[in-house]
Amino acid sequence: MTVDGEPEIDPRAFRNVLGQFTTGITVITTFTTEHTPIGFACQSFAALSLDPPLVLFCPTKQSRSWAAIEESGRFCVHVLAEEQRELCARFGSREPDKFADAAWHTSDLDLPVLDGALATIECLVDRVVDGGDHYIAIGRVQTLAESPTADRPLLFYRGQYTAIEPAKTTPAPWRADLDHFLTTTTLDTWL
């Protein structure tokens, strides 16, 4: 126990245990005030609300990308595809120009959009909540797009990149039902 009576949580145990929770990975981008594209790899992304449409992510308070997002008030979330490991590693580093070898364009909402993601979600910053050494940033969804070609996500599990093995996904006969469940919204459906 610490002096204030809180249990002492070992940081390594925290990482190991929380690392059992598998997530997809996103890259979140914006423009700086000089209109330079900037962004970072972000695992802590989630859908928050359907009505109104809100998403959230948790940037570390040290992130330069977050400082730029706060300043611009807008961001683009890219849900990474399996073949975007290298891009992810670059955006997860502190390299000065992460966009150097990347293919990207500027959207109508004036955001840098990287090619090849499974999905892109453009948002305006709605609210920022304190979360210890991170913030919880809530975004109001403005645009949604899905890639017509890329079909498998890049995953993060136990501190390493991984991917879905095609043979172990839901067998074909179940897909129609599953699709119905995932796309039909009733009062008791989550999202």
Binding site for ligand FMN (CB under 6 A): 25, 40-44, 58-60, 63-65, 88, 92-94, 156
Among residues 96 and 148, whose Cβ is nearest to ligand FMN?
A: 96
Q: Dmax of the chain from CA atoms?
A: 57
Q: Taking the complex as a whole, how short is the minimal distance between the CB of residue 107 and ligand FMN, in angstroms?
A: 20
Contact 121, 77 (CB under 8 A): yes
Q: Are strands 119-131 and 112-114 parallel, antiparallel or unpaired?
A: unpaired
Residue with the shortest CB distance to ligand FMN: 92
Rounded to a whole number of angstroms, the minimum distance from the CB of residue 188 to ligand FMN is 30
The residue among 17 and 178 lying less far from ligand FMN, judged by its C-beta, is 17
In angstroms, what is the minimal distance from the CB of 88 to ligand FMN?
6
Structure tokens that stand for 67 in this block = 């400082």
Nearer to ligand FMN, 43 or 147 (CB): 43
Q: Toward ligand FMN, which CB reaches closer, 43 or 49?
A: 43
Name the residue nearer to ligand FMN (CB basis): 14 or 174: 14
In angstroms, what is the minimal distance from the CB of 32 to ligand FMN?
11
CA distance 96 to 92: 11
HEC per residue, 36-67: CEEEEEECCEEEEECCCCEEEECCECCCHHHH
Residue spans of alpha helices (H) in the chain: 11-18, 64-72, 85-91, 175-183
Backbone angles phi, psi at 96, to 5 degrees: -70, -40
Minimum CB separation from ligand FMN for residue 158, in Å?
Answer: 12
